[in-house]
Amino acid sequence: MNHRRVLITGGAGFIGSHLTEELLSRDLAVTVIDNLSTGNWSNLDHLGHNKRLRVIVASAADPKLLEKEVPRHDFVYHLASAVGVKLIIDHPVHTVQNIVETTEVVTSMCSKYRKPVLLTSTSEVYGKSEDIPFREDADIVMGATSKRRWAYACAKALDEFLVLAHYYETNLPVFIVRLFNTVGPRQTGRYGMVLPSLVGQALNGAPMTVYGTGRQSRCFCSVHDVVNALARFLECPGAAGKVLNIGTNEEITIHGLAQKIKQLTGSRSEIQLIPYDQAYGPGFDDMMRRVPDLTRAKELLGWTPKRSLDDIIIGIASALAPADDGILAGVLAR
Q: Does 286 bind ligand UDP (CB under 6 A)?
A: yes
Can you tell me which of 53, 193, 246, 264 binds ligand UDP, judged by CB under 6 A? Answer: 193
The number of angstroms, rounded, from the C-alpha of 268 to the middle of its chain's C-alpha atoms is 30
Closest distance to ligand UDP from the beta carbon of 70 (Å) = 30
Beta-carbon-side half-sphere exposure of residue 314 (alpha carbons within 13 Å): 13
Q: Does 203 bind ligand UDP (CB under 6 A)?
A: no
With beta carbons less than 8 A apart as the criterion, state whether 75 and 232 touch: no
Task: Say how many C-beta atoms besides its own lie within 10 A of residue 2's C-beta.
Answer: 7
Task: Please give the backbone phi and psi of residue 211, each rounded to the nearest 5 degrees, phi first.
Answer: -90, 150
Closest distance to ligand UDP from the beta carbon of 193 (Å) = 4
Distance CA 167, CA 285 (A): 33
Distance CA 25, CA 48 (A): 14
Q: Does 150 bind ligand UDP (CB under 6 A)?
A: no
Closest distance to ligand UDP from the beta carbon of 18 (Å) = 17
**Residues 77, 126, 152, 211: which is the catalytic one?**
152
Q: Does 209 bind ligand UDP (CB under 6 A)?
A: yes
Q: Does 226 bind ligand UDP (CB under 6 A)?
A: no
- Calculate helix-pair angle for 92-112, 149-170, nearest 10 degrees: 10
Q: Does 210 bind ligand UDP (CB under 6 A)?
A: yes
Closest CB to ligand UDP among residues 9, 216? 216
Can you tell me which of 16, 192, 292, 315 binds ligand UDP, judged by CB under 6 A? Answer: 192
Q: How many residues does the chain have?
A: 334
Closest distance to ligand UDP from the beta carbon of 248 (Å) = 13
With beta carbons less than 8 A apart as the criterion, state whether 106 and 62 touch: no
Q: Does 95 bind ligand UDP (CB under 6 A)?
A: no
Q: Does 211 bind ligand UDP (CB under 6 A)?
A: yes
Closest CB to ligand UDP among residues 134, 211? 211
Q: Does 194 bind ligand UDP (CB under 6 A)?
A: yes
| CA quadruple 226, 228, 231, 237: dihedral sign | negative
Closest CB to ligand UDP among residues 85, 119? 85
Can you tell me which of 95, 216, 228, 265 binds ligand UDP, judged by CB under 6 A? Answer: 216
Q: Does 296 bind ligand UDP (CB under 6 A)?
A: no
Q: How many residues bind ligand UDP (CB under 6 A)?
A: 13
Q: Does 262 bind ligand UDP (CB under 6 A)?
A: no
| CA quadruple 259, 310, 221, 185: dihedral sign | positive
Which residues 6+ apart lie within 8 Å of 266 measured at CB? 327, 328, 330, 331
| CA quadruple 314, 315, 319, 323: dihedral sign | positive
Q: Does 218 bind ligand UDP (CB under 6 A)?
A: yes
Closest distance to ligand UDP from the beta carbon of 71 (Å) = 35
Degrees, nearest 5: CA angle 232-237-239: 75
Closest distance to ligand UDP from the beta carbon of 98 (Å) = 17
Distance CA 41, CA 284 (A): 32
- Let me know if 280 is a catalytic residue: no
Closest CB to ligand UDP among residues 87, 331? 87
Q: Does 202 bind ligand UDP (CB under 6 A)?
A: no
Which residues 6+ apart lie within 8 Å of 289 measured at CB? 130, 132, 216, 217, 251
Catalytic residue positions?
Answer: 152
Binding site residues, ligand UDP, CB under 6 A? 85, 181, 192-194, 197, 209-211, 216, 218, 254, 286
